Structure 1
Amino acid sequence: MPYATAAVAARALLVSLPLLSAATPAPAPASAPASAAAAGWSAAPAGEGRPSFYAEGAPGAVIEDTVAVTNRGAQPLTVRLRAAGTGTDGLRVAFAGPADAGLGIPARTRAEVPFTVTVPADARPGDRVGEIVVRDSTGRESAVRLLIRVGGPQLAALTVEHVAVRGDRITYELVNRGTTALVPRLAVHADGVLGAVLDRAPRTLPVRLPPGRRLRLDEPWPDRPALDAVTVRLTVTAPGATEATGRASARFVPRGATAGAAAAGALSAAAVVAAVRRRRRRRRKPSRGGALS
């Protein structure tokens, strides 16, 4: 990742700050991490009142902005700049100045470093979230949030795939097939031979699924049946997306050959009982004339 050097990069603007009393250091911005603030420097978007970087652009666009690094200490400061975060995948972030060089900032001086964000021509619409990270020579860092919104039609589409029951866990995969990030909700239901054995109401999952991403998850089932044949159904929803459903079947039997034979017989008996119950319910239904059959 290219870095800016104050000595040679004409585009890195250095601005002297008023002299500060050594006994009364200036407070660092609230967004600066404690480690950077303790060192007497901070990083923020250039200009007033912006807590983070935000811009919109179509695929192929080149977006320009400036990061300001303020050295309020009495000693010179050397920092390096980089873009970080999985949300910036596909975006090209370049800072002013030669590559692989540090940015030297004199005492009580603010350096303003321009940078560009290039959106790939084939980028899918949606949000990209990352950070501009500034790191000094001692390892202290200050990170500023970077949000780039790529223009285009917004489509929410979600699928649930590869559902399986593995011991006391239900495994599955969520796939975001749309163009916008999704926060999914999951409902879990399972039916055994004699009726429902698991029914969990919809709940919001603690994940944020970017467009085009696949995420493997699992659902604990510690109180699963010891003896049953079940069908598990996962229902997943997200704002703006059509409901998605995935299913899997499993048989729970005790371990051992003898236990297995007994389990198979028990399952068959349970199936017969369930069939008889269904038949009795049908016989109790009134005919069109109102009489019972």
Structure 2
Amino acid sequence: MRLLAAIATGIALLGAAPAPPTPTPGASSAVTWGVAPSTAKGPNGRPAFTYKLDPGATLTDYVAVTNHSARPLTLNLYASDAFTTAQGGFDLLAGGRQPTDVGSWVRLSQRSVTIPSTSRLNVPFTLTVPRNATPGDHAGGIVASLAATSADAQGNQVAVDHRVGARIYLRVTGELQPALTVENLRVRHSGSLNPLAGGTLTATFTVRNTGNVRLTGRPTLNAAGPFGLGRRSVDAAALPEILPGGELTTTVRMTDVPPLFRLTASAAVTPAAVGDQVLDPPPAVDTAQASIWAVPGPQLALLAVHALAVWVLIAVRRRRARQFARAVATAREEGRNEASRETERSSDGQDAAIPAVVGAGPRAGGDGDPAPDRSAPDADRPGQSRDNSRPDIGHTRKGKQ
């Protein structure tokens, strides 16, 4: 039996505030009705049937079923158990399933009601808590449904149960044990193409209500690299209520997470009371951990490019240094060669001038007087006449006699 999503949503809304009349789709769209907590005289504004009873207690209450249509309407009336959907919604068992909890504790005076057009019936019911009922919260609802047939996308005729209802919240007295657990933590890291930015860490996990009190909670995600490097934390939005025994799946994302090769993520949920409940003492916080590889691909590529640039720069500098050293060595060699050639030219010039000045200088062992001119006539030699035109005043000839 298939349920309309709109009707299921209407049931969920009844838990918070009275829902507007629910129309049926298609040809019978003019058929609308509503369900609300009531007294023998009519609805009293309660958003839900909320009770606190001892095991074995019994009470009588009323549910108002209102037909807003312009024609009479026959509806099926029954109670069922509630459960938490995977997305955190409040829903009731399908009409063909037998309840085993608070839905089975409700006895309606009528299982089928025919309501005149634009009229209301206040239907009484009794709720009896079994003596062996477990302490804590029990949730369900009272439903008014209309069975109909409809064609699916392939043209097949299918039975559809259009239904709307009001929630039942029953707390059985006894020891309360509020608790939420975190299970099936799965973590994924998506890197960024920008090497200067971090990636996105996505954590998906299941929150299960393992206690006996309906709870909400606020998830927290923590992440850190090796030795606690880059530790970060983010708080997510509060969860919808989770019934005892129920569970839901939630996802928390953390942005700008640096890829530190190996990340350790921990998800935690702090339980909180629903509505005006008081949890004393506060329940413990449950956590779950998971590790994931976060290889910094763009960062490594940038580092490789930087290392290559440094290597090229060093290689170019070394090459220039070697070229400069070779140039300096060549210049020095050329300088030495030029100096050697200059020395050789100087030596050649001195050697050429030596014959022209032989004998012109002082005689060895002399006192600086010029050497006598051997070509001139010597007065001391016999048979030679002395030139009187060259006075030899004060001249003393030195040398060996």
Residue 128 of structure 1 aligns with which residue? 138
Residue 104 in 1 paired to residue 146 in 2?
Answer: no
Residue 241 in 1 paired to residue 237 in 2?
Answer: no
Change beyond 3 A, Cα 1:46–1:165 = same
C-alpha contact 1:55 1:63 (8 A) present in aligned 2: no
C-alpha contact 2:77 2:145 (8 A) present in aligned 1: yes
Residue 252 of structure 2 aligns with which residue? 219
Change beyond 3 A, Cα 1:172–1:142 = closer
Residue 46 in 1 paired to residue 39 in 2?
Answer: yes
Write the mapping of 1:127-206 to structure 2, written as runs, cut at 5 A.
127-136=137-146, 142-168=164-190, 169-193=202-226, 195-197=228-230, 199-206=232-239
Amino acid at match of 2:178: A
Greater strand content: 1
User: How many residues end up aligned between the 2 structures?
Assistant: 225
| Offset of residue 181 of structure 1 | 1.5
* Structure 2 Cα separation of the partners of residues 142 and 237 of structure 1: 33
Write the mapping of 1:81-92 to structure 2, written as runs, cut at 5 A.
81-84=77-80, 85-86=82-83, 90-91=101-102, 92=104
Residue 278 of structure 1 aligns with which residue? none
Q: Please point out which of 21, 38, 49 is paired with 1:34.
A: 21
* Structure 1 Cα separation of the partners of residues 203 and 119 of structure 2: 57
CA shift digits 1:160-202 (9 cap, x unpaired): 2343424553233323232211211222211113744452343
Gaps of 5+ in 1: 1-29, 260-293
C-alpha contact 1:105 1:111 (8 A) present in aligned 2: yes
Residue 127 of structure 2 aligns with which residue? 117
Change beyond 3 A, Cα 1:33–1:130 = farther
Residue 80 in 1 paired to residue 76 in 2?
Answer: yes
C-alpha contact 2:189 2:292 (8 A) present in aligned 1: no
| Structure with larger RCO (C-alpha < 8 A, sep 6+) | 1
C-alpha contact 1:183 1:204 (8 A) present in aligned 2: no
Q: Kindly report the root-mean-square deviation, in angstroms, between the aligned alpha carbons of the 2 structures.
A: 3.8
TM-score normalised to structure 1 length? 0.60
Q: Please point out which of 292, 295, 301 is paired with 1:253.
A: 295
C-alpha contact 1:33 1:141 (8 A) present in aligned 2: no
| Offset of residue 109 of structure 1 | 5.7
* Structure 2 Cα separation of the partners of residues 211 and 157 of structure 1: 9
C-alpha contact 1:33 1:142 (8 A) present in aligned 2: no
* Structure 2 Cα separation of the partners of residues 41 and 161 of structure 1: 41
| Offset of residue 242 of structure 1 | 1.6
* Structure 2 Cα separation of the partners of residues 66 and 143 of structure 1: 13
Change beyond 3 A, Cα 1:70–1:235 = closer
Amino acid at match of 1:245: T
Change beyond 3 A, Cα 1:205–1:197 = farther
CA shift digits 1:34-76 (9 cap, x unpaired): 346x758654323452434232223454443222334577743
C-alpha contact 2:58 2:127 (8 A) present in aligned 1: yes
* Structure 1 Cα separation of the partners of residues 227 and 124 of structure 2: 67
C-alpha contact 1:164 1:249 (8 A) present in aligned 2: no
| Offset of residue 241 of structure 1 | 1.0
Q: Please point out which of 107, 123, 127 is paired with 1:94.
A: 107
Residue 207 of structure 1 aligns with which residue? 240
* Secondary structure of residue in 2 paired with 1:184: strand
C-alpha contact 2:234 2:254 (8 A) present in aligned 1: no
